């Protein structure tokens, strides 16, 4: 899909990807030029262009490296490339205003009609191949299966906008959140932070597409019992009034079905209990569970692994397969975030990854799904991240680093060092997982958390250290995290020490000679 970029843009993007992958290490400019099938001179021009984006690239003779601490995140870089692509700018314009003419499109984006034609043809070649979606002409609008169109647009907006920037001006974000929270609660759809973000993006797109007159044929029998209960509730009536006044639409069962179409498959389950209860009635569900159970057991046997959440893992894999490409970050446009995780994982544990990927291919084939590399990779990713302690078990198979402690003091000092090393490795942090459904910057700012570990970009928050890692959380990631921990410990020690040296202003008037004596003792100790 990234082939929608112009040749120079694509080369520049691949160049910066290489620099980021080296984590600030030096790379040979001639070797990079050879890999990208270009010249060192072109790359030097690219360096000049990347510096305009705020990227700090250091050069030394024929070598270059990225100054990661003084450069934007890789997520920001991808967004810049997305927003500077004429072809991708057409997508947002056509989404916001369907039925454009060539002339109105060229005026809206300040490009010539011939340029519109050229970029539409380039876009169609890639979107048809990857998403089974195209842009029809006369008038300009998206063509193809409406489900595929919505999934494509969800991925597009998720990559193009940061989490804290709302891209849909015609939809009130707070009203939509109230709408989603009400219906997901009534439909018993469990929510967490990442899942809520996905539902919010997809629901906003579904709302806009429905208002624009684009529909998906739905079977609403799945939600009819709930609808009959809520239709007379006061909250529902207020929402119905709002939808009628602002969008001139009726909030009926068909409208709700359009909003939550991705989750209304009879084979998609909102809870793990309802999933396993269905095995008594649904042969297809029973077949899915049986195959996944056999497949996971085989991986456990072949790699001598343990698993204490097999039922949950089977449930997650089944639902992921039913959603197909509806999830975010499955089929990338420019930013292949999950692909970066998978590449790093497969490089560290190639045998397990190959076996797991083949197992997912077998599962898709068993469920009579068409071969799809991105879905097979996404299922493999799901297996990896949902399998509790998988990476820890695989890492434990690697050869241990042996440490020998020698001291010329007594044996107790050696034990002290050993205890401190083990303590620093595992006991120094209280770790929680964010369990709110939306990102609340003010609440986080007022919390007692010292470090935020994130795989998406977060703008700086005063008093918080942010550890950003968009791909595999690796040994290098742990090292960077421990550097932050050490920095915090040092800062606390310094602050504690200074608080003893310098009394608070409100205590100044109470200082006497005894206070001076205490300060003298502290200075002598220092």
* 479-489 pLDDT, tens digit each: 777 788 778 87
Tokens of 340: 């970066």
Q: At what angle do helices 475-501 and 513-525 cross, to 10 degrees?
A: 140
What is the distance, to the nearest Å, from the Cα of residue 7 to the centroid of all Cα atoms in its chain? 27
Structural domains of the chain, with CATH: 2-72 (1.10.10.10), 171-264 (no CATH), 272-394 (1.10.1790), 450-526 (no CATH)
Burial 159-196 (b: 16+ CB within 10 A, else e): bbbebeeebbeebeeeebeebbbbbbebbebebeeeeb
What pLDDT is stored for residue 193 in this prediction? 86
* 31-82 pLDDT, tens digit each: 999 999 999 999 999 999 999 989 999 999 899 999 988 999 999 999 999 9
What pLDDT is stored for residue 525 in this prediction? 46
Tokens of 41: 């001179």
Q: From 154, 134, 133, 121, select the one nearest 3 (Cα to Cα).
A: 121
What is the distance, to the nearest Å, from the Cα of residue 59 to the centroid of all Cα atoms in its chain? 32
Helix (H) or strand (E) holding 334: none
What pLDDT is stored for residue 123 in this prediction? 95
Instruction: Check: CB of residue 209 under 8 Å from CB of residue 171.
Output: no
Q: From 190, 256, 185, select the one nearest 220 (Cα to Cα).
A: 256
Tokens of 391: 């990476």
Q: From 266, 145, 152, select the one nearest 217 (Cα to Cα).
A: 145
**CA 77 to CA 73: how far, in whole Å?**
7
Q: From 123, 155, 157, 120, select the one nearest 140 (Cα to Cα).
A: 120
Count Cβ atoms within 10 A of the Cβ of residue 100 and give its class: 0-12 exposed, 13-18 middle, 19 or more buried: buried
What pLDDT is stored for residue 316 in this prediction? 95
Given the DSSP bridges, would you call strands 133-136 and 27-28 parallel, antiparallel or unpaired? unpaired
Q: From 331, 252, 320, 262, select the one nearest 288 (Cα to Cα).
A: 320
**CA 88 to CA 82: how far, in whole Å?**
6
Query: Which strands form 57-60's sheet, in the order they lie side by side?
Result: 27-28, 63-66, 57-60
Cross-strand bridge partners of residue 135: 142
Alpha carbon separation from 394 to 306, 338, 350, 363, 389 (Å, rounded): 11, 20, 11, 23, 9
What pLDDT is stored for residue 511 in this prediction? 44
| pTM, rounded to two decimals | 0.81
What pLDDT is stored for residue 487 in this prediction? 82
What pLDDT is stored for residue 510 in this prediction? 46
Cross-strand bridge partners of residue 136: 141
**Residue 506 burial (CB count, 10 A):** 7
Tokens of 380: 């493999």
Phi (first) and psi of residue 466, to 5 degrees: -110, 120
Alpha carbon separation from 289 to 76, 149, 316, 367 (Å, rounded): 40, 30, 11, 11
**CA 222 to CA 424: how far, in whole Å?**
52
Helix (H) or strand (E) holding 143: strand 141-144
Count Cβ atoms within 10 A of the Cβ of residue 227 and give its class: 0-12 exposed, 13-18 middle, 19 or more buried: middle
What is the distance, to the nearest Å, from the Cα of residue 182 to the centroid of all Cα atoms in its chain? 25
Helix, strand or coil, per DSSP, at residue 189 = coil
Below-70 pLDDT ranges, the chain: 399-403, 406-409, 417, 421-429, 472-476, 493-526
Cross-strand bridge partners of residue 58: 65
Across the chain, mean pLDDT equals: 86
**Residue 148 burial (CB count, 10 A):** 18
What pLDDT is stored for residue 310 in this prediction? 97
């Amino acid at each position: 899909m990234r082939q929608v970029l112009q040749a120079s843009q694509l080369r520049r993007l691949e160049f910066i990807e290489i620099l980021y992958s080296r984590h600030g290490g030096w790379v040979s400019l001639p070797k990079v030029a050879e890999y990208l099938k270009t010249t060192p001179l072109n790359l030097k021009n690219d360096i000049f262009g990347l510096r305009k984006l705020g990227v700090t690239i250091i050069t030394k003779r024929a070598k270059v490296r990225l100054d990661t601490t003084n450069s934007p995140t890789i997520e920001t870089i991808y967004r810049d490339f997305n927003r500077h692509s004429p072809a991708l700018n057409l997508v947002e314009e056509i989404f916001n205003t369907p039925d454009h003419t060539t002339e109105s499109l060229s005026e809206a984006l300040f490009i010539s009609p011939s340029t519109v034609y050229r970029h539409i043809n380039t876009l169609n070649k890639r979107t048809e191949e990857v998403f089974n979606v195209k842009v029809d002409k006369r008038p300009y609008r998206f063509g193809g299966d409406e489900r595929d169109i919505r999934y494509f647009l969800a991925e597009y907006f998720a990559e193009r906008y940061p989490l804290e920037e709302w891209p849909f001006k015609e939809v009130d974000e707070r009203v939509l959140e109230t709408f989603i929270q009400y219906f997901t609660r009534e439909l018993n759809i469990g929510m967490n932070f990442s899942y809520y973000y996905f539902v919010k993006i997809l629901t906003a797109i579904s709302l806009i597409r429905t208002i624009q007159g684009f529909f998906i044929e739905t079977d609403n029998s799945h939600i009819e019992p709930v609808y009959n209960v809520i239709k007379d509730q006061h909250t529902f009536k207020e929402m119905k009034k709002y939808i009628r006044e602002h969008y001139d639409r009726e909030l009926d069962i068909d409208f709700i079905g359009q909003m939550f179409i991705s989750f209304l498959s009879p084979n998609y389950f909102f809870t793990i209990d309802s999933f396993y209860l269905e095995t008594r009635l649904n042969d297809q569900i029973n077949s899915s569970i049986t195959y996944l159970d056999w497949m996971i057991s085989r991986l456990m046997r072949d790699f001598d692994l343990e698993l204490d959440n097999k039922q949950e893992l089977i449930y997650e894999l089944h639902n992921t397969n039913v959603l197909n490409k509806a999830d975010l970050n499955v089929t990338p446009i420019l930013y292949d975030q999950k692909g970066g995780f998978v590449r790093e994982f497969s490089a560290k544990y190639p045998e397990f990854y190959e076996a797991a990927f083949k197992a997912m291919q077998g599962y898709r084939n068993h469920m009579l799904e068409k071969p799809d590399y991105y879905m097979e990779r996404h299922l493999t990713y799901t297996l990896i991240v949902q399998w509790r302690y998988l990476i820890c078990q695989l890492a434990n198979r690697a050869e241990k680093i042996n440490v020998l402690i020698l001291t010329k003091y007594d044996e107790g000092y050696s034990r002290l060092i050993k205890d401190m090393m083990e303590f620093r490795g595992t006991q120094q942090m209280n770790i929680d997982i964010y369990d709110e459904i939306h990102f609340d910057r003010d609440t986080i700012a007022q919390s007692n958390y010292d470090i935020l570990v994130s795989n998406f970009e977060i703008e700086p928050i005063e008093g918080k250290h942010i550890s950003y890692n968009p791909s595999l959380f690796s040994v290098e990631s742990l090292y960077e995290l421990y550097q932050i921990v050490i920095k915090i410990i040092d800062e606390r020690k310094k602050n504690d020490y200074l608080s003893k040296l310098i009394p608070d202003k409100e205590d100044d008037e109470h200082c006497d000679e005894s206070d001076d004596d205490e300060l003298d003792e502290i200075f002598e100790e220092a």
